[in-house]
Copies of this chain bind each other. A is one copy, B any other.
Amino acid sequence: MRDSHAAEARPYHHGDLRRALIDAARRILEAEGPSALSLRAVAREAGVSPAAPYHHFKDKAELLDAVAAEGWEMLDAAMARAKEQAEPRDKLTALGIAYVCFARENPALYRVMYDAARDKEALPEQMHASEDSAFCKVRDTMIEQGADPESAVELELATTAAWCAAHGLAEMAGFKQFEHLKETLGGEVPFLRAVFGHMGLFPGVRRD
């Protein structure tokens, strides 16, 4: 059976329990929400004993970190796709819309992602550090749409502002208070565009 361990590392007893646990966690998260996401429930869903996860994660927080990391990757991919498909002068808005839509379509996952970030008091490395991180994607898009690439501080401030706007909107968009506005404007996405427009951040949708 040399073929089954050809990859590079872990197929022992279960095959790849680490992977299975993360998947189980995601399944529970989607089906029953964050409050049902206990370590024991994850182990149950994966068909192992309650203590088994401790051979793959230091504690519950580390499992959630792994789930969150995959969430950030998904968000990053969604934003990349959105930027690609949008017309040049609409790319920044498209990034913002993609961000909020991801959060709205995966509310439980988004919550886990930010809970982990708040506990660490930092966004994950992958979102802010690397060359093609989502954060850099926003910055680069700002340059493409006319921001001055020389003034680094201004550029980082603008990117930060955009990120704050997207996160704030992602959390607010689910509140009942704004349903009336969504109806008036004809749907969720028009509502998002309108709010982003009022932020004055996104040249593509700037009014007047």
Provide the residues of chain B in CB contact with A122, threshold 8 Å.
175-177
Provide the residues of chain B in CB contact with A153, threshold 8 Å.
181, 184-185
Q: Which of B167, B172, B194, B199 contacts A172 (CB 8 A)?
A: B167
- How distant is the Cα of A118 from the Cα of B176 in the complex, in angstroms? 10
- How distant is the Cα of A197 from the Cα of B157 in the complex, in angstroms? 9
Chain B nearest CB: distance from A192 CB in Å? Answer: 10
Give the number of chain A interface residues (Cβ < 8 Å): 40
Q: Is A41 an interface residue (CB 8 A)?
A: no
Q: A171-B114, A200-B200 are in contact. Are A161 and B195 (CB under 8 A)?
A: yes
Do the beta carbons of B160 and A172 come within 8 Å of each other? yes
22 CB < 8 A contacts A-B: A114-B171, A118-B171, A118-B174, A121-B174, A121-B176, A123-B175, A128-B177, A153-B181, A156-B181, A157-B181, A157-B197, A157-B198, A160-B172, A161-B195, A161-B196, A161-B198, A167-B171, A167-B172, A168-B171, A199-B200, A199-B201, A200-B200
